[in-house]
Amino acid sequence: MKKKTARKNPRVLFWGIFAAAVLAAAAPLLIPAPKEAFPVAAFGRLPVLEGGRVKPLDTFARNSLLIIRGTQTLPLKGRTVPAVKWLMDAMWRPEAADTQPVFLIDDPDVRGLLGLTDKARRFAYWQIEPKRDEIHTQAQHAAMVKSAERSRFQSAVITLDSRLNLYEQIKNTLMISGDGDPAADMAVFAQVVPAALRVVHGGKATAKDRQAVKVLSQLLERYRFLAQAAAFRPLPPPADRPADAWTSIGEAMLKPSAKDGPHPGLADYALMGRAYRGSDPAAFTEALTRFSQWAEQERPGMMSHARAEVLFNSAQPFVSGMALYVAALLAVFAWWGTRRPEAEAAAKALFGAAVLVHTVGLAARIALQGRPPVTNLYSSAVFVGWVSAALGLVAERAHRKGFAIAGGALLGFCTLVIAQHLSASGDTMEMMRAVLDSNFWLATHVVTVTIGYGSTFLGAALGVAWVGRKHLVKDPDPEMTKALVSLTYGVICFSLLFSFVGTTLGGIWADQSWGRFWGWDPKENGALLIVLWNASILHARWAGYIRERGLMVMAVGGGIVTSLSWFGVNMLGIGLHSYGFMAQAFYWLAAFIFSQLLLIWLGLLPARFWEIEDEEEEA
């Protein structure tokens, strides 16, 4: 009877922890947002066209703030201001937004140029404004230098200039930098056009008409400026126009449709601006609701897509995934330390929940973007982590010792951290450049080769676990060691299959688009190295040149090779596949490689250095 409950308890515990973990991950969706005077969240769900795709204002606001400030929210006077609220301030009340410390400036020389002496890392626009022209001139000079040869100051000043440009574009998207009342301007515009037309068509013009021409030309000048400065296009095309015929405020004012007159969104956006500037939430809500209803009627698909993306943005599945992976890792350690079934249940439940959340996030991205999972470096990090973790989940079912959980959780966490850092460069669902615009090849070559990365990393993590066990565990269970080794062997076989097929598929894609199967491009070479490394491990094992230790140590080496081919080649800054120079990532990569070399060295120490006699040496 007692035995039965003991066996039953962990099961209940498992599902209990699993449910609690999933619920915790869903918390951002379940907890209601703090009350705001203006309907900030509803405004954030409006779709706009920017960067070639339709996205909700929420996404644009988050990405812009991420580029400018490095975060997705703005802490201000003890409150957390959502990105959309910051965007609304920048667009309609720039006099307030200009005082908010959002510009991240780390470079001491750039701070020196601006005469900024505070300890803070982030500065307000008004602090920079006096030297705005100087920044622009310096950035233009720096842009003449090839990107790989720029000094730290030159890179930093270019970055700051582009952040300032983005901010200034935002300020001049819906109205000209908080100047005047857009709704009143529109009314004047409608009034003066007939009078001005009379003058143009040579009718009998009064002095009032001539005055109207003057006013009109000033307004046209302003709308021309808005058309050219806008950061995004807020006005969706009516249902009978092509789906990508979005317009900015300025464009819509300058070219009203002959059939339907001015775009209905123009008046509503202008009224929203007036209400926001005049602190009139009721009027704001009214205009927003009217515009949303119109858009819903004309473009229901775009509206629901934007709502789904906002849901994804606020759920932040990869952030909760990260936390769950850490929790799972700690639980595995507790399980190994205590050998208690409760800890085992917790480890499995937390890891399962983490993989589930990661999978949901990945699936949501695929659905939102309408693309296979890997489209850029950011998504490759998310996918590599998912492959490692999902493989870990499968492998754990074969050998229930916790190694696969530990390896999968560690890699899931690390890759999500990497992804988090990579996302700072802007929209992670950017459009695919011409040659990459092929879902077939993204789904075959890119996915297989990335699965190869993920599983090679899992093999490396298992190798690290083996080295750690050898040094840390006093009395290792030989059965567990055997399980670990055979698991690693299987993972390496899997890696070889996927990295080889992925690499040759890449060659075939290259043959389809450039006419050469293999061009010894750095990225191709990196992929080839992974194949060669995995093949070497297996051949050396089959020939008997290496046994348990050799296999595990070489598996650790697989992590180094993969990291070099994944990130190292991008640092060369040449070749068809390069994404740009990542100076900071370079030091992290170097640190990772150094740590792995250290582990390999630890693994290779002769038997007498081991705390426990090496079975291999005895054999």
Partner 1 sequence: MPPSAAYRNPVLKALSSLWLTLVCMSLLMVLVVACTLLQVPLGTHEAVVRTIHSFIVWWRPEGASFKVPVFPGGALVGLVLLLNLIFAQFLRLELSRRKAGLWIAHLGLALLFVGEFTTGMFQVESQMPIKVGQTSDYSEDYRLMELAVMDRTDPKTDTVTAIPESILRKGGEIKTPSLPFTLRVLHYYPNSVLGMRGAGDPPAEATAGIGPNLSVRPAPRVTQDDEADSAAALVEVDDGGKDLGRYWLSNALGAPQGFTLEGRTWRLALRPRRYYLPYTLTLEQFHHDVYPGTDIPKNFSSLVRLKDPARGEDRDVLIHMNAPLRYAGKTFYQASFGQGDTLSVFQVVQNPGWTIPYISCVLVALGLLLHFWLKLSASFGRSP
Chain contacts with partner 1 (rule: CB under 8 A):
49-53, 232-233, 244-246, 430-431, 433-435, 437-438, 441, 486, 490, 493-494, 496-497, 500-501, 504-505, 507-509, 511-522, 525-526, 528-529, 532-533, 535-536, 539-540, 542-543, 545, 569, 572-575
Q: Cβ 520 to partner 1, closest distance in Å?
A: 5
| Residue closest to 409 by CA, chosen among 321, 329, 320 | 329
Extract the tokens encoding 185: 């301007």
Nearer to partner 1, 269 or 500 (CB): 500
Which residues fall within 8 angstroms of residue 168, CB to CB, at 6 or more apart?
229
Q: Cβ 418 to partner 1, closest distance in Å?
A: 22
Q: Cβ 147 to partner 1, closest distance in Å?
A: 14
Nearer to partner 1, 179 or 244 (CB): 244
Give the whole-angstrom CA distance, residue 491 versus residue 485. 10
Do the Cβ atoms of 313 and 427 come closer than 8 Å? Answer: no
Nearer to partner 1, 262 or 490 (CB): 490
Nearer to partner 1, 245 or 591 (CB): 245
Do the Cβ atoms of 337 and 402 come closer than 8 Å? Answer: no
**C-alpha radius of gyration, the chain, whole number:** 29
Nearer to partner 1, 129 or 511 (CB): 511
Q: Cβ 492 to partner 1, closest distance in Å?
A: 10
Do the Cβ atoms of 96 and 276 come closer than 8 Å? Answer: no
Do the Cβ atoms of 321 and 24 come closer than 8 Å? Answer: no
Phi, psi of 298 (to 5 degrees): -85, -40
Q: Cβ 432 to partner 1, closest distance in Å?
A: 8
Q: Cβ 27 to partner 1, closest distance in Å?
A: 36
Do the Cβ atoms of 559 and 521 come closer than 8 Å? Answer: no
Nearer to partner 1, 515 or 606 (CB): 515
Which residues fall within 8 angstroms of residue 304, CB to CB, at 6 or more apart?
none
What is residue 78's DSSP assignment? T
Bridge partners (DSSP) of residue 76 are 79
Nearer to partner 1, 6 or 508 (CB): 508
Q: Cβ 574 to partner 1, closest distance in Å?
A: 6
Extract the tokens encoding 339: 């050998």
Which residue has tokens 């890119």?
Answer: 446
Q: Cβ 568 to partner 1, closest distance in Å?
A: 9
Helices and strands in the chain: count of H runs, count of E runs: 27, 6
Q: Cβ 516 to partner 1, closest distance in Å?
A: 7
Which residues fall within 8 angstroms of residue 8, CB to CB, at 6 or more apart?
none
Give the whole-angstrom CA distance, residue 311 versus residue 586. 34
Nearer to partner 1, 92 or 441 (CB): 441
Q: Cβ 592 to partner 1, closest distance in Å?
A: 17
* HEC assignment per residue over 276-338: HHCCCHHHHHHHHHHHHHHHHHHCHHHHHHHHHHHHHHHHCHHHHHHHHHHHHHHHHHHHHHH
- Beta pairing, strands 53-56 & 47-50: antiparallel
Query: Which amino acid, residue 420?
Result: Q
Nearer to partner 1, 153 or 518 (CB): 518
For residue 509, the number of C-alpha atoms closer than 13 Å in the C-beta half-sphere is: 21
Burial of 275 (0-12, 13-18, 19+ CB in 10 A): buried
Nearer to partner 1, 170 or 528 (CB): 528
DSSP H or E stretch at residue 81 = strand 79-82
Torsion angle of alpha carbons 483, 489, 494, 499, nearest 10°? Answer: 140
Nearer to partner 1, 28 or 51 (CB): 51
Nearer to partner 1, 462 or 491 (CB): 491
Nearer to partner 1, 433 or 474 (CB): 433
Do the Cβ atoms of 548 and 449 come closer than 8 Å? Answer: no
Q: Cβ 430 to partner 1, closest distance in Å?
A: 8
DSSP H or E stretch at residue 347 = helix 341-369
Q: Cβ 434 to partner 1, closest distance in Å?
A: 4
Query: Which amino acid, residue 353?
Result: A
Which residues fall within 8 angstroms of residue 515, CB to CB, at 6 or more apart?
none
Q: Cβ 448 to partner 1, closest distance in Å?
A: 9
Nearer to partner 1, 73 or 534 (CB): 534
Nearer to partner 1, 54 or 195 (CB): 54
Q: Cβ 298 to partner 1, closest distance in Å?
A: 17
Q: Cβ 76 to partner 1, closest distance in Å?
A: 31
Q: Cβ 246 to partner 1, closest distance in Å?
A: 7
What is residue 433's DSSP assignment? P
Nearer to partner 1, 390 or 529 (CB): 529
Burial of 552 (0-12, 13-18, 19+ CB in 10 A): buried
| Residue closest to 82 by CA, chosen among 71, 98, 68 | 71
Extract the tokens encoding 250: 């300025």
